Amino acid sequence: MRELPRRAQVYIIFLALAALLGILGMLPTLMAQPSLWPVVLLFAGLICLSDLFPIVMPFPGDAEMTVSGAVQAAVAILFGPAVAVWAAFLGTLVAEAILRRAWHKATFNVSQMVITFGAMGSLYRLLYDGSVNPLNSPQNAAALAILAVFYYVVNTGMVSLIIAFVNQVSASYVWKVSFRNIAWHELTMVPLGAMIAILWQASPWAIVLMVLPLAVVRTSLLQSSTLQLQTMETLMALADTIDQRDPTTYEHSQRVAMFAEMIAREMGLPQDQVELISMSARLHDVGKIGMSNALLYKPQQFSLEEWHEFRRHPTIGASMVENFPLFRKGRDLILHHHERWDGQGYPDRLAGEEIPLGARIIAAADALEAMTADRVYRDALTLDAAVEEFRRERGRQFDPKVADALIAVLERYRREEPDWERETFQKRVRGYPVVQPISSQVGS
């Protein structure tokens, strides 16, 4: 646990202590009613079984989702906080042991489940009409709706916080990227739990009827996760296809993404914007995929007809990415990455702040990559020459704030690397870490 940031350590310890108080506090209730122990063990087994088949969300943090929330919600509705706390504790603990999670991850996951479902058991008892049947009255139905929202907010909030603390990013960024698009999955857990509760009241054996609905929900979540991952992989493959067509510009898009990230971070943009800009930069030239090699790599000056054809690539690229629902936000950044601050760019001759900020950043990053890379028709510029070019074009080709941020990055690099002028900039920054989805930290 020492490798975790201090805030993450404090957060996990706080949750563990709160969970321990709940576990010990509910023990007298169960000791006074020994008949509840078989119920605790049965539902703990079902929770454990559900947790053994997690679905990893692609980004960020590789947070995991399962359908155990439905089982635990049913326990909270049927039996209240004492059984809910102990079933969550035992079921999650055994699953974590079988999955061999790192102990601090297991501690977080067990604590999170104990706190969440203990609180849900108490909340339902506070709001219901005296009957555990969720459909017994409008009051119970309202209590169920409140329970669903409570579960979604608390569950995703706790996971977002730990990932944010561990990776030192904002919790809102983690939540938006990982959980906003699966809100309906999370909100269905409590209604599914209510169905389990109703079937249990009819006959405990009847809960086997919920196996298929839970499997369908899990499959739906798996497909959603797979869609996100395959979308990114497909788009990145398209971007790499462009670079691989010409060895002189190989990894061009990756370097533009790297430079764009450096600029965005220097400007203090939120993490979600940094990642969107970086990903869009990787794809900024994807519209060139349909162009002939003769045009794409022509070393001489274009004819007027060839120039018009070449200028179509931002429009083509934008139309390609907008067909991917999970990446439509990057469309305008790709469409306008050849606009100029003075309005002399293309395709729409936007000027100033009419150009999306991300597109302005990508334009500067693209220009820096082009200046500092060797081409068949010229050698790479020195970094000093590139800096002077950005100073000269500040307020003309480039957004002044973006140019200032880029120059600040380069000047800091020069201070840290006194012999920087002896090699081209690109050879020296190959090891710079391009933004990546945050590494796995917890399973939810």
Look up the CATH architecture of domain 6-218: Orthogonal Bundle (1.10)
pLDDT in tens, 330-345: 889 999 999 999 999 9
- Sole residue written with tokens 């730990």: 162
Q: What's the rounded Cα separation, in Å, for the pair 404 and 247?
A: 31
**Does 401 have pLDDT greater than 90?**
yes
Instruction: Read off the pLDDT of residues 291-324 as tens digits, 9 standing for 90 and up.
Output: 766 666 666 667 777 777 778 888 888 888 887 7
Rounded Cα gap, residues 386 and 381, in angstroms:
6
CATH architecture of the domain covering 245-428: Orthogonal Bundle (1.10)
How distant, in Å, are the alpha carbons of 122, 152, 154, 341 from that of 147?
10, 9, 10, 51
Residue 127 tokens, joined:
């709001």
Q: Which two tokens stand for residue 175?
A: 């939540």
Q: What is the pLDDT of residue 419?
A: 56
Q: For residue 151, what pLDDT is reported?
A: 93
Per-domain residue ranges for the chain? 6-218, 245-428
The contacts of residue 408 (CB under 8 Å, 6+ apart) are: 266
pTM over 0.85: no
DSSP 269: -
For residue 65, the cross-strand partners are 55
pLDDT category, 439, cuts 50, 70, 90?
Answer: very low
Instruction: Provide CB contacts within 8 A for 244, sequence distance 6+.
Output: 250
Residue closest to 62 by CA, chosen among 114, 6, 101 = 101
> Of 139-143, 168-172, 437-441, where does mean pLDDT reach its minimum?
437-441
